[in-house]
Amino acid sequence: LDFITIQNEVEQLLQYRELTPRLEEALGKFSRRDSAEVIQPVRTTVPLQKHSGFLGVMPTYMENDGVLCTKFVCFYKREEGSTLPATKATVMLLDPEYGNVKAVMDGEVITGMRTAAVSAISAKLLMRPEAEVLTILGSGLQALSHYNVFTEMFSFKEIRVWSRTRQSAEGFCRSVSGPVTVCASVEEAVRGADAIVTVTRCTEPVLFGQWVKPGAHVAAVGACRPNWRELDDVLMKEAVVYTDSREGAMAESGDIILSGAEVFAELGDVINGVKPAHRDKTTVFKSLGMGVEDAVSAQLVFDQWKAKASLP
């Protein structure tokens, strides 16, 4: 087997049931900073000024697992009302011994699913167990993948969505399998919510601490540039802040850098039992996205593809 391209099949091959435990294990490995387990530098970002975007290159090597992977992801600050996607990604698996490419995969489903699954892991660790109300801010690709995994893993009594236009929020409701309440404002959507997922492309704060219920858990997924924001200073300073990678957060998260908030722990530290999960307090998980998440996802797709094709 030399080189394969897996495009539309990714959706059929990747299931949260198998993916989520692998991601949890990978987050723990990353936070141990053992180079035999994971080598993953902060992503290299090249500005695409003419197109208001960035190319992110995200290499990862997992020596013990024999996984070498890189993702190329372009992400854009789109014009108001643009229907073009915010991100476009390709994932490449390589053979660590010979350096040849083993597989090239479409990165859209991988990025959608692994990001949502990591947010769900943050909720599993940091959200109050009696949580009843989930709010999703944004109605794009990540909103959908977050809806899918959060409803698979938890039983919320109410799910709310807010988007910039009522039309896009209603479109989101039609695309999902269960009831969702469309809210006219962010404040209406988040008041009283136990879990809040922010998956917008905004570059200024959209979620304000004064509206957030004490003890709520926020998974903040957008705003992945050092001068972009989704959350305000009040929320960042009042909450206990967790992230995927400290180095990534200090290089890329406007919400952390510009608010001056302290990062309490990585999710992997909680998984490894070296830092506590403050479920009783308001918590923010600031997600930037990591190469190791793409690497384990791509390896899972590859293994499933080989099993389906009955290859050794």
Ligand X SMILES: O=C([O-])C1=[NH+]CCC1
Under 8 Å between Cβ of 246 and 219? no
φ/ψ of residue 8, rounded to 5: -75, -15
SS3 104: strand
Which of residues 8 and 83 has its CB atom nearest to ligand NAI in the complex? Answer: 83
| Residue 297 backbone phi and psi in degrees, to 5 | -65, -45
Q: Report which of 230, 204, 203, 225 is spatially closest to residue 285, judged by C-alpha positions.
A: 230
Least distance between ligand X and beta carbon 131 (Å): 26
> How would you classify the pairing of strands 53-62 and 44-48?
antiparallel
**What does 139 bind: ligand NAI, ligand X, none (CB cut-off 5 to 8 Å by kind)?**
ligand NAI
Contact 116, 142 (CB under 8 A): yes
Q: From the list ligand X, ligand NAI, none, which binds 92 (C-beta under 5 to 8 Å, kind-based)?
A: none
Q: Which does 198 bind (CB under 5 to 8 A by kind): ligand X, ligand NAI, none?
A: none
Choice between 137 and 159, CB closer to ligand X: 137
Q: For ligand NAI, give the closer residue by CB, 89 or 102.
A: 89
Whether 160 contacts 135, CB under 8 Å: yes
Shortest CB 219 distance to ligand X, Å: 14
Question: Closest distance between ligand X and the C-beta of residue 94, in Å?
Answer: 18
- CB nearer ligand X, residue 56 or residue 254: 56
Tell me how crowded residue 243 is: count the other CB atoms within 10 A of its CB. 26
Q: Which is nearer to ligand NAI, 133 or 189 (CB)?
A: 189
Q: In what order do the strands lie in the sheet with 67-76?
A: 4-6, 101-106, 87-94, 67-76, 53-62, 44-48
Give the residue at shortest CB distance from ligand NAI: 140
Q: Which is nearer to ligand NAI, 28 or 205 (CB)?
A: 205
**Residue ranges that bind ligand NAI, judged by CB under 6 A:** 75, 85-87, 111, 115, 138-143, 163-164, 168, 199-202, 206, 221-222, 224, 287-289
Chain centre distance of CA 84: 19
Residues near ligand X (CB under 6 A): 56, 73, 75, 87, 89, 111, 224, 288-289
93 binds, among ligand NAI, ligand X, none (CB under 5 to 8 A by kind): none
